[in-house]
Amino acid sequence: MFDLDRWQEIMSALKKNKLRTFFTAFGVFWGVFMLVIMLGSGNGLRNGVTGDFGDFATNSVFMWTRPTSVPYKGLPRSRNYNFKNDDVEALRREIPEIEYLAPRTEGGGSQSGNNVIRGTKSGAFSVMGDYPEWNLIDPVVITTGRFLNHADIKEKRKVAVIGNKVYEVLFKQGEQAIGQYLQIQGIYFQVVGVFKPKNSGINFGGDKEQSIFIPLTTFQRVYNWGDVIGWFAFTSKPGTPASEVEEKAASLLKRRHSVSPDDPQAIGSFNMEKEYNKMKGLFQGINGLIWIVGIGTLMAGVIGISNIMLVIVKERTKEIGIQRAIGAKPWNIISQIITESVFLTTFAGYVGLVIGVGILEGVNYILTSSGSESDMFKNPSIDFNMALTALVILVISGAVAGLIPARKAVSIKPIDALRYE
């Protein structure tokens, strides 16, 4: 409902002391502005950090062997041992909570000298013996060709999937890589795929872009690893905590390798889920803090509005008295003052919202257009629901801010209001 008389009154009340109105509105403006900027920055931080994960399975666990620290079954301490191929079978058989299991071996790397040769070009790259399941735990984008498959494993094919940096070093730009042969640590492999990483923040044994994936079985045979496996990566089935699977796998592997169940060192493991949850908790904490601080700032602004409305009501006591003498009902007065308060709050808040979002968009534009998108800060923004929530909070708090002054305005008897000078 648009009521010209009501707005005329609001405008006249607000215009009477423009500077005061401005400062009052500024309180709410600043509250909303800070809330938007902080929420946006918090989101930017989270987008930046979680963006590093890419599609990495956050429910994954990594497990490797370390020298034992407790003598057990007649075996001495400081004994070295290795995971074996039949551990893969045992894990699959005895721990049904495991969803994907990817055993891995690795060799080469930048320290090993130029281990990969193609014609006159050569480079130092990490060489990974992998199962196809690896691509479900730390997925990569296949730009051409394919990833490893189970037939490669079974037939121990000499095929390789290479990272984009490997391609850049060993091939000319635009050259067809699929079907070409590389000499990897003395053995020829045929390239079946080229990939680029989805996340560059997480690496195992060297930069992913400079890695070559070959079938694990082929790796073991051609490099004389026998049935030794470097380490395991596995994920838990949905609904099962990764730490539960981690415990079961560790105790199974200890049993299979005659390691004391009480040995705290013999199996090294890393639980991604735990780290991820820690980080998620951190961001939830930051978000919560932002809301508390933001709402606090907003509250200070709203209380300022309530205060000023009290002053306005006092200044206009006589005017309100006149209006009541000529027939204004208490509800007319109350709704007038609440409308005024809601208008002031919402208008100031809306300006804060618009300017806040504008600045976030500006920062976003500069970040993306200058290409300086860092790993820690990406796409700072607030979503539409948050903006809507903020507006609803504003309207409600504006009404609450107006309620006390409005009640005060009608609590005074009309005759006293008329006499008020």
Q: Give the residues lining the site for other proteins (CB under 8 A).
A: 4-5, 8-9, 12, 318-319, 322-332, 410, 413-415, 418
Q: How far is the CB of 319 from other proteins (least distance, A)?
A: 6
Of the pair 115, 336, the CB lying nearest other proteins is at 336
**Least distance to other proteins, CB of residue 2, Å:** 11
Helix (H) or strand (E) holding 14: helix 4-15
Q: Which is nearer to other proteins, 75 or 418 (CB)?
A: 418
Closest distance to other proteins from the beta carbon of 349 (Å): 26
Closer CB to other proteins, residue 351 or residue 412? 412
Closer to other proteins by CB, 39 or 320: give it. 320
Query: Are the beta carbons of 85 and 153 closer than 8 angstroms?
Result: no
User: Which residue number, 383 or 416, has a Cβ lying nearer to other proteins?
Assistant: 416
Least separation in angstroms between CB 340 and other proteins: 13
Shortest CB 342 distance to other proteins, Å: 20
What are 147's two structure tokens? Answer: 């990833």
Nearest-angstrom CA–CA distance, 103 and 130: 7
- What is the spatial distance between Cα 253 and Cα 407, in angstroms, rounded to a whole number? 74
- DSSP structure string for 32-94: HHHHHHHHHHHHHHHHHHHHTTTT--TTEEEEEE----S-BTTBPSS----EEHHHHHHHHHH
Backbone CA torsion sign across 82, 84, 89, 90 = negative
Evaluate whether 223 touches 107 at the Cβ level (below 8 Å): yes
Rounded least distance, CB 362 to other proteins, Å: 40
Is 399 within 8 Å of 336 (Cβ atoms)?
A: no
| Shorter beta-carbon distance to other proteins: residue 396 or 415 | 415
How far apart, in whole angstroms, are the C-alpha atoms of residue 357 and residue 359?
5
> How far lies 109's CA from each of 29, 116, 193, 320, in Å?
56, 10, 20, 84
